[in-house]
Amino acid sequence: MPTRWAGVVVILASMVGPAAADGPEAVYVEGVLAPRRHVPRPSPADPLVTRLVWMDPTRVAVGTDAVARDEMRSLLRKIDVSVTWRVGEAGEVALPGEVRVILLDRVASSASGEPILGATPARFDGSPYVWVHVPNVRAAMGLRPEGPLAAVDSSSVHALGVALGRVVAHELVHVLAPSAPHGRGLMSEKLNRFQLAASRLPVEPAVGVAVRAALRGEPALPPAGTDILAATTAGKAVKR
């Protein structure tokens, strides 16, 4: 796997279970075993607000950022969690309580060669963060994995923004609540292109329970069954 971390790889959500992930565009998400450090609460008065830092050092997602953030915000709103955003600069030190969302202009693959959409470590030594491999998300949406988005039609750019927002939302759930269960919708184990671009992506109630409990510092649900989260696309690996 080109991108090596200590026991991680993360991926995205889907609307339905395994039966719907038919074809070369399916994406797989596995569960998490290793506990992650919970994100510090923003303030005792409002624990259900998560502060995010949008970091796009190579400007690979310029043109999709507003749509991606709106989609992610909408998905978290379904579980009664609010977010605030600020734009960060490469190399800056994150503030306490922030989660960095880092957009990468590079591909990554699992050990079996499946492209990874996003990744997050099993544990954090410092401030928590997620990675999104934008070229792989582009390829999952039927776009060329590289090249300026200015050359892409506006509807495709909008659809890419929605897909990126869903990848980010899935990863954030795993950062905020490591015990959040997989199921259907946002936290399902398989995701294909249709699900990335569907008009609606449901979030199961159990996911909201786990995230709200984690943000309030309440006892966590039992962890999911494996130590790897992998956001991958079945079929041929995306290549530059």
pLDDT tens for 29-57 read 333 323 344 444 444 446 788 999 999 99
Task: Give 80's pLDDT tier (boundaries 50, 70, 90).
Answer: very high
Q: Is residue 28 part of a domain?
A: yes
Predicted TM-score (pTM) of this structure? 0.74
User: Of the ranges 19-23, 44-48, 84-88, 106-110, which one carries the lowest mean pLDDT score?
Assistant: 19-23
Amino acid letter for position 119: A
* 8 A C-beta contact, residue 99 and residue 215: no
**And the tokens for 164?**
């990126």
Q: Is residue 140 part of a domain?
A: yes
* 8 A C-beta contact, residue 233 and residue 136: yes
As a whole number, mean pLDDT of residues 212-230 equals 63
Side-chain half-sphere exposure of 24, counting CA atoms within 13 A: 8
The CATH number given to whatever domain includes residue 151 is 3.40.390.10
Q: Is residue 56 part of a domain?
A: yes
Q: Give CA–CA dist 84/182, Å, rounded.
A: 25
As a whole number, mean pLDDT of residues 228-240 equals 41
Place of tokens 């290549």: 239
Q: Is 146 exposed, middle or buried (0-12, 13-18, 19+ CB in 10 A)?
A: middle
User: Of the ranges 25-29, 161-165, 169-173, which one carries the lowest mean pLDDT score?
Assistant: 25-29
In the prediction, which pLDDT does 180 show? 78
Q: Is residue 69 part of a domain?
A: yes
Asked whether residue 159 carries a pLDDT value surpassing 90, the answer given is yes
Q: Is residue 10 part of a domain?
A: no
| Closest C-alpha among 230, 210, 213 to residue 29 | 230
Q: Which region holds residue 227: left if phi is over 0, alpha if psi is between -120 and 50, else beta? A: alpha
Q: Give CA–CA dist 140/184, Å, rounded.
A: 19
As a whole number, mean pLDDT of residues 131-142 equals 93
Q: Is residue 238 part of a domain?
A: no
Q: Is residue 2 part of a domain?
A: no
The boundaries of the domain holding residue 138 are 18-233
* 8 A C-beta contact, residue 201 and residue 166: yes
Asked whether residue 8 carries a pLDDT value surpassing 50, the answer given is no
> H/E/C letters for each residue in the chain?
CCCCCCCCCECCCCCCCHHHCCCCCCEECCCCCCCCCCCCCCCCCCCCEEEEEEECCCCCCCCCHHHHHHHHHHHHHCCCCEEEEEECCCCCCCCCCEEEEEEECCCCECCCCCEECEECCCCCCCCCEEEEEHHHHHHHCCCCCCCCHHHCCHHHHHHHHHHHHHHHHHHHHHHHCCCCCCECECCECEECHHHHHCCCCCECHHHHHHHHHHHCCCCCCCCCCCCCCCCEECCCCCCC
Give how many domains the chain has, as a whole number.
Answer: 1
Q: Is residue 8 part of a domain?
A: no
pLDDT tens for 96-133 read 889 999 999 999 888 888 888 888 787 777 789 999 99
**And the tokens for 35?**
């506990």
In the prediction, which pLDDT does 154 show? 93
Asked whether residue 70 carries a pLDDT value surpassing 80, the answer given is yes
Asked whether residue 156 carries a pLDDT value surpassing 80, the answer given is yes
